[in-house]
Structure 1
């Protein structure tokens, strides 16, 4: 298709309009990706772990493609730190986290409290707390528990809920928000 500069309509503009229409017409998950479009053709995630001391500040998506090496580093970062087991993190969860972070308009990285959890870790946490699900999405690499010191649990939960792309749990007493790419739902206080 040739560029049509006389009308100001280019092939790129038509493709962009088509992509935007497709994104808004697709069900639920596209909402999170839609909130990332405002950042251009780049998606970035920033986190640190108080448990391991590791930091991550990574562009993981450019021009419609996930960067394999970046995603591998995210998987390693979000591993079960207790067992050192790594699981592939669902890219939808990473997109929800990045979209909520963009909506919060902060430079502070998330503090990752929990990403992937091995079945052994999940069972141990269930013995210690009523708030840990038997079939937690953490065990599938589809959930993260996150904190920001510059934003309240309510602000973080509201940003994640705005994406309408998965589950959002508010844990105000423990000062963190759970985000996952499962069914759209909210809980907690």
Structure 2
């Protein structure tokens, strides 16, 4: 792993209130596959769960990564690996604020269907390759910092996912209707796309 998360080192552009507002609007019902989480859940009130799969690697992720104010170290490690740059097999410590945003948006969509992860972490080499193929790829993409994900759901439209992401009031949310995905990141609050 190459970098540490930046959540504690720079002034956060994401407000805790914005994330909590999104979580307060929904309830997470947890039946985790993450082996060690079950013991912590007895009597627990506040948990965060992430469900995803990757069409590129065939991998599935269903893990509780946060319980009553604390991130679960092994779950975070598992998510970091899942969100790796599969082209380079490179893992980066993702910014945990990104997990919170995509989980809050998922809860607002009221579905148990896992996200399809199209892109998580990207190495500079992968980002440059994708940029040479598409003008929609930023030169200084937050994917390279471990702060962004491109996501899709079969049961929800791009507009629905985009609106859920916007409702969180945290980070950037981009709508890519022609490519059928939504970008969510933990950078400055902003929206774009058509």
Which category describes the TM-score, using the shorter chain as reference length?
A: 0.7 to 0.9
- Higher normalized contact order (CA 8 Å, seq sep 6+, divided by chain length): 2
Given that 1:33 and 1:95 are in contact with CA atoms closer than 8 Å, whether structure 2 keeps it comes out as no
Residue 165 of structure 1: aligned partner: 170
User: Post-superposition shift, 1:32?
Assistant: 1.9
User: Post-superposition shift, 1:36?
Assistant: 1.9
Question: Which deviates further from its counterpart, 38-47 or 74-83?
Answer: 38-47
> Quick check: 1:180 aligned with 2:185?
yes
Structure 1 runs, 4 residues or longer, greater than 4 Å off: none
Provide the rounded CA distance (Å) in 1 between the counterparts of 2:170 and 2:155: 24
Q: Higher helix share goes to which structure?
A: 1
> Quick check: 1:155 aligned with 2:141?
no
**Distance 1:138-1:152 versus aligned 2 partners, 3 A rule:** same
Residue 129 of structure 2: aligned partner: 124
Residue 67 of structure 2: aligned partner: 62
Residue 43 of structure 1: aligned partner: 48
- 1:46-94 CA distances to partner (integer Å, 9 max, x unpaired)? 0000000000000000011000000000000000000000001100000
Unaligned runs of 5+ in 2: 1-11, 28-44
Provide the rounded CA distance (Å) in 1 between the counterparts of 2:19 and 2:174: 16
- Please, what is the CA RMSD of the aligned residues? 1.3
Q: Tell me the TM-score normalized by structure 2.
A: 0.82
Unaligned runs of 5+ in 1: 1-25
* Structure 2 counterpart SS, 1:177: strand
Q: Tell me the TM-score normalized by structure 1.
A: 0.84
- 1:71-122 CA distances to partner (integer Å, 9 max, x unpaired)? 0000000000000000011000000000000000001000000000000000
* Structure 2 counterpart SS, 1:158: helix
- How many pairs are equivalent? 164
